């Protein structure tokens, strides 16, 4: 989450709290365009579930393994599960409530400087952004707002039992109870690609600073690099990848971090068309030969893990494909093949990917 840290400058805006957004004449009303607070507070898991998770037996078990006394107050846990706890006292407004989960200002930014002005009918979206509201219409900004807490977990926390995370902007946006309206033409394939590029950037950043990354982390990294390079190869408007074999492993991660950030930013700002989605889909469908290579089974499993998510989002973004029963049945089989990494069979997956290609029409 992009929150101020302790010691933030004196000119940093205050967090005013979700109650400042909740009146019936603002975002707490019953109308379709005024019920955002109600949807968030009553239906969205970001409201209470992240905080409540810290009080579970599993969280306490993880905390004990890490030497954390209380996960409900330790910053290693609250940064994502209760981010408002990390807001400095000097930036807490009158209605601020640190017990809220991932709240309005966690995503839209501290509201002191734009709370009143953003309701003005003469204000454009650019005016609101200039006043300090986060530009969530921009997919790059949206992905950056979500990705850290939906992708990054320190290796020692993973070893202590925290579940592995996988960020996927399109699917996770679709599954969330909507308390917003898309004012631009939402393209699920574009959101998927921007989110995957942002996830790769975060993964690369984490690996560049890890003292000793384990094999699972390296395989995850390789799987996502493979996916992004496959899609990028068919789109001349996207930046080319760096040299993947410099002398130092840390250099690889740093270079991929820069490349994937550029990928995310570029993809968020191009005019994404169905033709781009079809090109990306074709690149992934034609990758069955990669699962017949001599790569380790663990690496192949990570390739498949990312691939099936991409196929799902790309077919869902193309109206003529999302209701194709034969294609969806072939996709379901690929999901089943990739479900268990220890039992993953690359040859079977390759064969089933060929069947998916046939259902697609061999395109």
CA-based nearest residue to 202, from 182, 224, 180, 186: 224
Token output for 96: 């601020």
Using CB atoms within 10 Å of the CB of residue 307, give its burial: 0 to 12 exposed, 13 to 18 middle, 19+ buried.
Answer: buried
Other C-beta atoms within 10 Å of 25: how many? 8
What is d(CA 27, CA 20) in angstroms, rounded to the nearest whole number? Answer: 9
What is d(CA 322, CA 8) in angstroms, rounded to the nearest whole number? Answer: 47
The domain spans of the chain are 1-135
β-bridge partners, 15: 92
- pLDDT 10s digit of each residue in the chain, 363 long? 344 443 445 578 999 999 999 998 899 987 777 899 999 999 999 988 899 999 999 999 999 999 999 999 999 999 999 999 999 999 999 999 998 889 999 999 999 999 999 989 999 999 999 999 999 999 999 999 999 999 989 989 999 999 999 999 999 999 999 888 887 778 999 999 999 999 999 999 999 887 777 888 999 999 999 999 999 988 888 999 988 775 555 688 999 999 999 999 999 999 999 999 999 999 999 999 999 988 999 999 999 999 999 999 999 999 999 889 999 999 999 999 999 999 999 999 999 999 999 999 864
End-to-end Cα separation, the chain, in angstroms: 40
């Amino acid at each position: 989450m992009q929150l101020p840290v302790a010691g933030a400058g004196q000119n940093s805006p205050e967090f005013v709290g979700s109650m400042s957004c909740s009146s019936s004449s603002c975002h707490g009303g019953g109308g379709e365009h005024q019920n955002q607070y109600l949807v968030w507070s009553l239906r969205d898991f970001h409201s209470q579930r992240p905080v409540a998770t810290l009080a579970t037996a599993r969280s306490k078990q993880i905390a004990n393994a890490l030497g954390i006394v209380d996960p409900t107050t330790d910053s290693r846990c609250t940064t994502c599960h209760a981010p408002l706890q990390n807001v400095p006292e000097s930036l807490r407004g009158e209605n601020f409530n640190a017990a809220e989960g991932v709240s309005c200002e966690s995503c839209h930014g501290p509201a002191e400087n734009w709370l009143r002005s953003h309701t003005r009918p003469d204000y454009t979206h650019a005016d609101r952004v200039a006043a300090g509201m986060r530009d969530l219409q921009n997919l790059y900004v949206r992905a950056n707002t979500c990705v850290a807490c939906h992708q990054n977990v320190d290796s020692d926390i993973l070893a202590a039992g925290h579940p592995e995370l996988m960020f996927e902007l399109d699917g996770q946006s679709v599954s969330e109870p909507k308390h917003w309206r898309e004012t631009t033409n939402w393209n699920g394939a574009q959101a998927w690609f921007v989110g995957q590029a942002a996830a790769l950037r975060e993964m690369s950043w984490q690996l560049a600073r890890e003292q000793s990354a384990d094999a699972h982390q390296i395989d995850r990294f390789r799987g996502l690099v493979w996916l992004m390079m496959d899609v990028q190869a068919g789109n001349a408007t996207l930046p080319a990848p760096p040299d993947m074999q410099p002398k130092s492993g840390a250099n690889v991660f740093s270079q991929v971090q820069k490349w994937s950030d550029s990928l995310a930013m570029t993809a968020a700002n191009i005019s994404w068309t169905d033709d781009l989605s079809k090109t990306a889909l074709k690149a992934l469908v034609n990758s069955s030969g990669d699962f017949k290579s001599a790569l380790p089974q663990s690496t192949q499993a990570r390739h498949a893990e990312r691939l099936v998510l991409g196929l799902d989002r790309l077919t869902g973004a193309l109206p003529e494909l999302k209701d194709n029963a034969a294609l969806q049945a072939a996709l379901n089989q690929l999901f089943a093949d990739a479900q268990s990494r220890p039992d993953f069979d690359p040859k079977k997956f390759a064969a089933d990917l060929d069947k998916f290609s046939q259902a697609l029409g061999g395109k």
